[in-house]
Every structure is written in C-alpha cells, then in structure tokens.
Amino acid sequence: MKKILVTGSEGYIGRHVTDFLLDEGYDVICSDISGKYHDERCTVCDYPIFSGDKDVFCKTGSPDILIHLAWQDGFIHNSEAHMSNLPCHKKFIKDMLAGGLKSLTVMGTMHEIGYHEGAVTDNTPCNPLSQYGKAKNDLRLYLTELIGNQHSDTAFHWLRAFYIYGDDRRNNSVFTKLLSASEKGETTFPFTSGRNSYDFIHVKELARQIGIAALDTEKSGIINCCSGKATPIGAMAEKFIEDNGLSVSLLYGSFPDREYDSPLIYGDNEKITELVKDYYDNKG
C-alpha cells in the first residue's frame, strides 16, 4: 500500500483530497500548519515542512507519493506571501527529491496562464498577471528543470485547477459572497455583465481528479483538473441562487468586466479523463 503525504491537508482543497484517498483505502500522512485534522484515519505529521531540514523526507514518513497543496494566501492573488514563500517551497521539494521521493504531484493554477481565450493545453504560453500566478509558474519552471536534470526517474505531475466551487463557506468565491449577502438579509447583489465564461469544477470532483492523477506513477507533465467546458458565470450564479433557495437577485452591469479577465477560458481535460477511466477500469 502506497504511503501518500498530503501537505495543506486541512485547506479548502486538501480536506477533500484527504477524504478521497482515505475512502479509497490509502495510507495518508497529513501535514497542515493548523495542527488540526478532521479525519482520525490519517497519520498526522506535525513536522514543520518548511524548517529547512535536509532530512525532511525521512522526517515526514518517507512517503511514496507527495501531493503538495500547501500554499499561503491562495485566495489573495496579489499577497506578498506568494513570492516571499517561494524559496521555502523550492527547498522543501528539492530536499524531498534528494531524500528519495519517487512521485511528486504539485498543485498549480489557471492563473499561471494569464489572459487567454479558449482552451488551455499543455503548450499554452504562460503570462501570469498576479503574484499568485507568477509564483506558481516560477515553481513549475524550477521543478521541471530540477527533475529533468537530476531526478528523471521521478514521476512529476503539475496539476492546474480552474474555477472551483462547492463547500462554499470555506471558499472565497462569488458563491461564498452570495451566501453571505443572503444571510445578511440583502436582496440584491451587484454583479458584472455575467457573460465571462469559465471552467467550473466542484471541489469534490477536483479532489478526486487530484488523487487519481497523483496515484498514477507512469505519466508526467501538466494535467488540467477541470470539466473541459466553459459556462457563463452569470448562469452559474443564477443556478447557485436557485439551488440554495437564496432570496438574492443579481444586478447585472453594476461592475464592469475587468480588461484582464479572459472572456472565455477552459481546460483541455483529455489527460485527466483518460487517467480517471484507467483508474476505475483497473479497480474493476
């Protein structure tokens, strides 16, 4: 049975990744800065992963697979923490690889791409516009070179998520804000034109895709974790209001569509679709 270390295991995405892997019967080592763990089935790792200790691989349980989700201020795209913490992420993963890690999965983001219209593939050029996107893209380039030059026998997955929803009280999306507005008794909600279309994925489906991608130790490279289609944000918001019985109406056009927002963007999901199919075919 493979041992899987999940960093950021109590984060918005991490909780659901941990649940998926535990439900599938894997030995999960959970690491989170909060020191609080919601599932007693996991093995708790309270070792500080950013301590700078070169023996971090052994001290985190010598995992077969690392799923690195830990990231400060993921919802604050221009936080100074993204670039200031980047050296810690690089050293941690470098030391894990040097210690003997053979399979690495790291969470990336669509924000590495920047402005783009249409499908995002492995070969879509990156021109990140936020500190979050720039830091993630820098880490991807660093790891690609490091593994290519020094650890070519290591499986490396770089996963890109798009517009995540679900478990919305723990999110910071427009859906979270709609819930908050409704709870405050507000009946209207200022909105953009609602025409911009994004690739929406429920956090539990995202977690399943992350877990399945990480469990594959044969393939490497960029993998889009996504639905593979674009839906107007206005339509998604209207459906969310209806599904949750909220007494809030969208005031379209209250805010202009931002010039740097892609009017239509979605991920090419061919790779993840194949991996999910193979996973369940092999399970029988």
What tens digit of pLDDT does each residue of 63-87 get? Answer: 999 999 999 999 999 999 999 999 9
Token output for 249: 């109406």
Q: Does the pLDDT at position 1 exceed 80?
A: no
State how far the Cα of 176 lies from the Cα of 154, in Å rounded to an integer: 38
Query: Distance of CA 270 to CAs 111, 122, 197, 281, 283, Å?
Result: 20, 11, 20, 17, 20
Render the burial of 50-60: b for 16+ CB within 10 Å, e for the rest: eeebeebbebb
- Please pick, among 26, 132, 163, 198, the residue that the annotation labels catalytic: 132
Angle (deg, nearest 10), helices 203-215 and 14-23 = 60
Q: Does the pLDDT at position 95 exceed 90?
A: yes
Q: Does the pLDDT at position 194 exceed 80?
A: yes
Average pLDDT of the segment spanning 38-42: 94
- Asked if residues 234 and 87 have their Cβ atoms less than 8 Å apart, the reply is no
pTM above 0.75, yes or no: yes
State how far the Cα of 178 lies from the Cα of 155, in Å rounded to an integer: 40
Average pLDDT of the segment spanning 132-154: 97
Domains delineated in the chain: 3-164+199-227+266-283 (3.40.50.720)
Of 10, 5, 11, the closest CA to residue 56 belongs to 5
Q: Does the pLDDT at position 260 exceed 80?
A: no
Q: Does the pLDDT at position 132 exceed 80?
A: yes
Average pLDDT of the segment spanning 24-45: 95
Of 258, 257, 261, 269, the closest CA to residue 119 belongs to 269
Q: Does the pLDDT at position 156 exceed 80?
A: yes
SS3 117: coil
**From the CA atom positions of the chain, what is the Rg in Å?**
19
Q: What pLDDT score does 187 carry?
A: 95
Q: Percentage of the chain surpassing pLDDT 90?
A: 93
Active site residue 132: yes
Average pLDDT, the chain: 95
